[in-house]
Amino acid sequence: MTSGDLTELTIKEATHLLRLGSISASDLVTAHVERIEQLDARVKAYLRMTQEVWERQAEEADRKLRDGDAPPLAGIPIAIKDVLCVKGVETTAGSQILRGFKPPYTATAVQRLFDAGAVMLGVTNCDEFAMGSSTENSSYFPTRNPHDLLRVPGGSSGGSAAAVAAGEAMISLGTDTGGSIRQPAALCGVVGMKPTYGRVSRYGLIAFASSLDQIGPFARSVDDAALVLSLMSGLDPLDATSSQRPGMEVLNNYGAGVKGMRLGVPREYYDVEGIEPGVKAAIDAALLILRREGAEIVDVSLPHTDYGLAAYYIIAPAECSSNLARFDGVKYGLSEEDSPNVTELYTQTRRKGFGTEVRRRVMLGTYALSSGYYDAYYLKAQKVRTLIKRDFDAAFEKCDAIVSATSPTVAFPIGTKTQDPLSMYLCDVLTLGGNLAGLPGISVPCGTSDGLPVGLQVLGPQWGENVCLRVARAYEEASEIRAEVATPSPLQGRGSG
């Protein structure tokens, strides 16, 4: 096989070749590194490469393969979002305020994949502190969509999604606070899974909004996403919010197909304001396929959807204003040491280290939590959150899973929404409800609109990852739509950037 062929494999295909001895872990890693060297100057999915790590891990994977005791991900190349700590590897959350920070520990979710034999290629770009929907808020540079270099890859996990879409990693990890796995997965034409809140440990994740954040995988197939999720899930004594449920339960019955299942289509999601005709057409086609496979499509309602965006943009900034208070330039990261006193040290460090969007959300959150406004804003938003959770509970009494578009639009041109925060926030209108309710969700490719990928979102009940995966896998098989590796040319684009 050529190196190009190796960068298009799924985990199942690669594992088969590795165990036959047809290829080595080093071959697989080298092919992906060469792909990165060929393309990433244009795509810009990666912030930094970890050569010492991949050389050591690939060598270990090859040894275990030779000895016949290889773990399930032995030799599989992965990329890690720049909000997940890896011991000794610079981790900055896409921000200048953490420049030079090398964690003394590794995030539990990452460590579990390392223990399963995965090989880390590098750290992927993201919106600063995961705040954004386009990866244009990175303090380094914007990542570009491999399907059209003039367009965004989505966000905040745009680097991780673009790396898988461009064949620069076989799988990658991202985080989802309001849609930051599912939305870029849709825009880049790959599979992206957000688990139930508590399914995956958040230990070692640089927090944005602690009651919303979850870690999940990007992959080229539903099977790959399911395997990775099962390996990284489970109880972690280092995270008090992690569930005791075994990780392997996400695989329960997930290959059973959709015959006899009831799939709900919320009218508020189907007719959401701003949905593009091509996206709606792709979703209609997906619903026809699911119906043909034996699913019953039923109407459901999520009546408080219109309040979700406002509630989210009070709760998330409030939590981020608290979480980001620790970044003051004293113990690690950027420090304006010439400041005349400690107050000026804090002020100057944070002003210089935080980008515009982060400062905006910190100020919004601080205001919402301030004396006299807490009840009017934060407390009321939490009450709306409860109503949204009840909407989902009522919907799941009528259906097994909820299906919709993942994003109301396809990837938009770089720079078109950076000066209009509200327009950018609306990118997550179909995904943030799942975070507010703590539910699992997956985005799977479901065709194109104007030549750009469209994603089908499947939301399941709490702890219903296997339900989401079951629907997504059945659709993937029936539609024969796969996450195709994109190879952008130097001048690729549609002239709209």
End-to-end CA distance of the chain: 37
Tell me how far apart the alpha carbons of residues 445 and 418 are, in angstroms, rounded to a whole number. Answer: 26
The residue count for the chain: 497
Contacts of 195 (CB under 8 A, 6+ apart): 214, 215, 216, 229, 233, 250, 440, 465
Asked if residue 180 lies in contact with residue 425, where contact means CB atoms within 8 angstroms, the answer is no
pLDDT at 419: 87
Residue 187: Cβ within 10 Å count: 35
Three-state DSSP string of 451-481: CEEEEEEEECCCCCHHHHHHHHHHHHHHHCC
Question: How much is the pLDDT for 437?
Answer: 98
Low-confidence ranges of the chain (pLDDT < 70): 1-4, 490-497
Residue 16 CB-half CA count within 13 A: 5
Q: Interior CA angle at 188 toward 11 and 477, to 5°?
A: 50
Q: What's the confidence (pLDDT) of residue 3?
A: 64
pLDDT number for residue 495: 39
- What is the pLDDT at residue 46? 98
Provide the pLDDT for residue 497: 37
**Helix residue spans in 127-206 (DSSP H):** 158-165, 182-188
d(CA 320, CA 170): 31
pLDDT of residue 422: 85
Side-chain half-sphere of 358: how many Cα atoms within 13 Å? 29
Q: What is the CA radius of gyration of the chain?
A: 21
**Cα(59)–Cα(55) distance, rounded to whole angstroms?**
6
pLDDT at 496: 38
Catalytic residue set: 81, 156, 180
Residue 492 pLDDT: 54
Residue of 121, 122, 123, 176 whose CA lies nearest to 154: 176
What's the pLDDT at 330? Answer: 86
Structural domains in the chain plus CATH codes: 3-302+393-479 (3.90.1300.10)
Other C-beta atoms within 10 Å of 463: how many? 18
Q: What tokens were used for 181?
A: 């796995």
Query: Can you give the pTM of this predicted structure?
Result: 0.96
